Structure 1
Amino acid sequence: MVRRFDAGRPVPEEVVRDLVGLAVRAPSAGFSQGWDFVALLDDAERDRFWAAAAEPGPPDAWLRGVSAAPALLVCCSDPGAYLDRYARPDKGWTDRDPARWPVPYWDTDVAMAAMLVLLGAEDAGLGALFFGVPAPRHDDVVAALGLPDGRRVVGVVALGHEARRVSGSAATRRRRPLEEVLHLGRYGVSVRP
């Protein structure tokens, strides 16, 4: 994940189109495809986003680094697309009750699509970062982007060329080893080193 971008090197629209082309190949529960991606490629669009998304006050180092990204891809979910799809006769849930979904696959599917964007960005020689919008700022971002009713901002992918790296969590925190995260058959039974 890149947190400092070179603002002077733009990301061409065709690269963003290619990345979203990868994203829509992600798994989708019931092939509902309840996702939308809003690409913010010019200064005015990104400024409008940051005005809505950033907490009041002077920007910290993280915000200064990420807001320099020349492209933002706002990843949105549409829960209604899933509720409609699963109310169809081949699925059998006619009540459209969101409580039937202990895991909100509308957000999960968008997150998987975002992962494809991140991987594609790496292949395209770009740096990228997936980040969330602070909860109190969601409504402001939805309004600033003119999103339709019912859309949820799952996260944002910042895209661009990495600026010189000065620090980062990977330098100070270890990646959890496989033996800690893979459990065979049941929790607590781990793979051998």
Structure 2
Amino acid sequence: MQLDPFAPALVPAGEFSEHDRASVYRAIETRRDVRDQFLPDPLPDDLVSRLLGAAHAAPSVGFMQPWNFIVIRDPKVRQAAWQAFSRANKEAAEMFEEERRDMYRSLKLEGIRKAPLSICVTCDPDRAGPVVIGRTHNPRTDVYSTVCAVQNLWLAARAEGIGVGWVSIFHDADIRELLGIPERIEIVAWLCVGYVDQLYHAPELAVKGWRQRLPLEELVFCDRWGSQ
């Protein structure tokens, strides 16, 4: 889309209406990492396009827009990804202390086979060239920007009644080979996406007693580290 050269560069900021503001906060507060509540119904193409559009509207340092999105519908590809997850998940279970191991094994940590759609989000560190505004002294800002795209997609999905689950338990090489991702491209997230009719009232790991949300007041400092 070409920008109108005669359009004003700035538009009024202004706050949202009370209703719109409440909707934004509701999406943030009720967003969940969905693992086992996916319905099998396929997602319409126009809906998937809206979610990807929301992701692409994310902020990025130096406007580098380093993300790519691999949309995966093929059950065979998703089955192979699940096998990669399953192998890594068995390894992960052994990393926990014995008293936590059984609880870990009882948790449902992915929805790759159940969700009708997966999206692999990647980061291209070369997208904006070797020198990028804002990345000159922190090379990881390209990945941080890509995570903003993931969050945008997640919040848009919540507004659409769509569940999203982030799978991170796999060996990078397995997914790279499965999807033909070049070595220079970083894999950031494997997202399971699908309709849901129920969500946990709080994060699932909190509901199941794995870990609770920390009090905000313990995490906010004033002017310097540790000063409250």
TM-score by length of 1: 0.77
2:190 aligned counterpart, secondary structure: strand
> Is residue 142 from structure 1 mapped to residue 176 from structure 2 by the alignment?
yes
Of 63, 73, 76, the residue aligned with 2:119 is 73
Deviations 1:130-158 (A, max 9, x none): 23143xx2112112112234111111121
Using the TM superposition, give the Cα deviation of residue 11 of structure 1 relative to its aligned residue in structure 2, in angstroms.
Answer: 2.1
Mark the CA change 1:155 to 1:64 in structure 2 (over 3 Å): closer, same or farther.
closer
> Is residue 188 from structure 1 mapped to residue 220 from structure 2 by the alignment?
no
Mark the CA change 1:70 to 1:181 in structure 2 (over 3 Å): closer, same or farther.
same
Using the TM superposition, give the Cα deviation of residue 188 of structure 1 relative to its aligned residue in structure 2, in angstroms.
Answer: 2.0
Deviations 1:87-129 (A, max 9, x none): 6xxx5xxxxxx9x554511211111100011101100101112
Query: Does the aligned pair in 1 maintain the 2:119–2:191 contact within 8 Å?
Result: yes
Higher Rg of the two aligned structures: 2
Query: Does the aligned pair in 2 maintain the 1:77–1:107 contact within 8 Å?
Result: yes
Using the TM superposition, give the Cα deviation of residue 20 of structure 1 relative to its aligned residue in structure 2, in angstroms.
Answer: 1.0
> Is residue 41 from structure 1 mapped to residue 86 from structure 2 by the alignment?
no
Deviations 1:28-79 (A, max 9, x none): 1211111101111232332233344441798975256453111111110011
CA distance in 1, matches of 2:218, 2:157: 29
CA distance in 2, matches of 1:56, 1:132: 10
CA distance in 2, matches of 1:139, 1:101: 28
1:62 aligned counterpart, secondary structure: coil
What root-mean-square deviation, in Å, do the aligned CA atoms of Structure 1 and Structure 2 show? 2.9
Aligned to 1:109: 145
**Please, which runs of 5 or more residues in structure 2 have no aligned partner?**
1-32, 91-104
Mark the CA change 1:143 to 1:162 in structure 2 (over 3 Å): closer, same or farther.
same
| 171-180 or 67-76, which deviates more | 171-180
Aligned to 1:94: none
Q: How does 1:13-92 map to 2 (within 5 A)?
A: 13-55=45-87, 62=108, 65-82=111-128, 84=129, 86=131
Aligned to 2:159: 123
Using the TM superposition, give the Cα deviation of residue 8 of structure 1 relative to its aligned residue in structure 2, in angstroms.
Answer: 2.1
Query: Does the aligned pair in 2 maintain the 1:4–1:163 contact within 8 Å?
Result: no
Mark the CA change 1:112 to 1:64 in structure 2 (over 3 Å): closer, same or farther.
closer
Query: Does the aligned pair in 2 maintain the 1:133–1:156 contact within 8 Å?
Result: no
CA distance in 2, matches of 1:163, 1:124: 12
Mark the CA change 1:65 to 1:73 in structure 2 (over 3 Å): closer, same or farther.
closer
Query: Does the aligned pair in 2 maintain the 1:4–1:162 contact within 8 Å?
Result: no
Using the TM superposition, give the Cα deviation of residue 180 of structure 1 relative to its aligned residue in structure 2, in angstroms.
Answer: 1.2
CA distance in 1, matches of 2:183, 2:110: 31
User: Percent of counterpart pairs with the same letter?
Assistant: 26
Mark the CA change 1:164 to 1:40 in structure 2 (over 3 Å): closer, same or farther.
same
